[in-house]
Amino acid sequence: MSNSKIAEFLAKGNIYSTVGITVEDHQELDRLLDASKRYTFDCYCPECKIDTTFYIYNFESYWEDLKTPKLMITGVAPGGMSNVPRFEKSEEDKYKELIKKNNLFCLTAHCVRSSAHPIWIFIKLEEDKIIKIGQYPNVRLTLYPHVSKYQKLLSNYFIELKTALSLYSNSVGVGSYVYLRRVFEKIIFDKYNESKNEIKISEKDFLLAKMDKKIEMLKDYLPAFIVQNKKIYSILSKGIHELDENECLKYFDTIEQSIEMILDEILEQKSKEVKQKSLTSLIANITGTLRKG
C-alpha cells in the first residue's frame, strides 16, 4: 500500500512543513476528520520497530465559536456516534468557513498491531494547505532506526549523523547540512588514513587539495558511488553558504540517502574483506592438513 500525499505528510512531514490541498482533496480530508472511517496511513511504529499501518482513532478540534455546531467537526472513535454534519467536496465555501472557525486538530493514530502504540499529530488546516504543528513521538527521527548499523564505522561521528537527522526532523535545513558535511569529510579522511601508505601522497598535499581533488586521489579506494557523485560535497557546501532553509530541506533526503549509500558500500567492502580473510585462512588450513595426509 502506498501513502497518498496527505498520508505521506502525516507519516513523514517535518514540524512546520506543509502539504498543498485543493478541492480534490476535500473528500480525503473528510475521511481523515471522521474517525469512524478509520483513515489509514503507512508509518514507522517506534514500538513495533517496523513500518506498519496506523489509523486515525480519534481527534480533538479547537474551535472559536461553540454556537456554530453545523461547522463543527468532532472526532468519534470507531463504533461511536457520528451525527455531525460533514463538509462535502462540492461545498468549497463550507470548507473555507469551517477552517475559519475550526482549524486546529490533534489527531490520535493507533498502530494496527496494538492500540497501546499511539502517535499524536497536530495539524492546522488552511485554505490551500495543511501545516503540521506538532507530533509525538517524533516519528521522523525514529524513521531511521537502520542508521545504527553505521555506529561502529562512524565511531564518534555517528552522533553527527544523528544530529543531522534530528535537525532535519525539526526543519533546520542549513544546520543539518553542517553535520552531514562533517560525516562526508570523515569518510574521506578515514579512507586517506587507511590507504596513505599505498597512494603515497603526503598529508600536507592531501590537506591542501580541494575536495574534488582529494576524491580523485583516493578514487581506487573509495566506493564508486562517491567518485561518480563527488558533487555531493559541493551541494553540502552550497547549502551551508548559499541556499536558504527551504532549499536545504528540499534536497536533504537525496543527499542524506547518498551518504547512506556510500556508507553501505564501505560496510559491504569491509564485510567482504573479513570473509575473504577468513576463507583464505581456512584454505591454508585445508592445504596444511592435506599435505600432512
Binding residue for Zn ion, selected from 31, 94, 113, 196, defined by CB under 5 A: 113
Residue 245 touches Zn ion, criterion: CB under 5 A: no
Residue 89 touches Zn ion, criterion: CB under 5 A: no
Q: How far is the CB of 46 from Zn ion (least distance, A)?
A: 8
Q: How far is the CB of 48 from Zn ion (least distance, A)?
A: 3
Q: Please say which residue, 121 or 217, places its beta carbon nearer to Zn ion.
A: 121
Total site size for Zn ion, rule CB under 5 A: 6
C-beta atoms surrounding 151 within 10 Å? 13
CA angle 83, 89, 92 (to 5 degrees): 105
Q: Please say which residue, 52 or 237, places its beta carbon nearer to Zn ion.
A: 52
Residue 45 touches Zn ion, criterion: CB under 5 A: yes
Q: Please say which residue, 61 or 135, places its beta carbon nearer to Zn ion.
A: 135
Say if strands 18-20 and 40-45 run parallel, antiparallel, or are unpaired: unpaired
Q: H helices of the chain, where?
A: 5-12, 26-32, 92-101, 139-142, 151-154, 158-169, 173-199, 203-208, 211-217, 224-228, 231-241, 245-292
Name beta bridge partners: 111.
54, 114
Q: How far is the CB of 119 from Zn ion (least distance, A)?
A: 9
CA angle 280, 283, 284 (to 5 degrees): 85
Instruction: Give backbone dihedrals phi and psi of 51, rounded to 5 degrees, phi first.
Output: -75, 130
Binding residue for Zn ion, selected from 117, 129, 182, 230, defined by CB under 5 A: 117
Residue 48 touches Zn ion, criterion: CB under 5 A: yes
Residue 111 touches Zn ion, criterion: CB under 5 A: yes
C-beta atoms surrounding 63 within 10 Å? 18
Site map (CB under 5 A) of Zn ion, residues 128-157, x = contact: ------------------------------
Residue 56 touches Zn ion, criterion: CB under 5 A: no
- Alpha carbon distance 47, 127 (integer Å): 35
What does the binding site for Zn ion look like in residue numbers (CB under 5 A)? 45, 47-48, 111, 113, 117
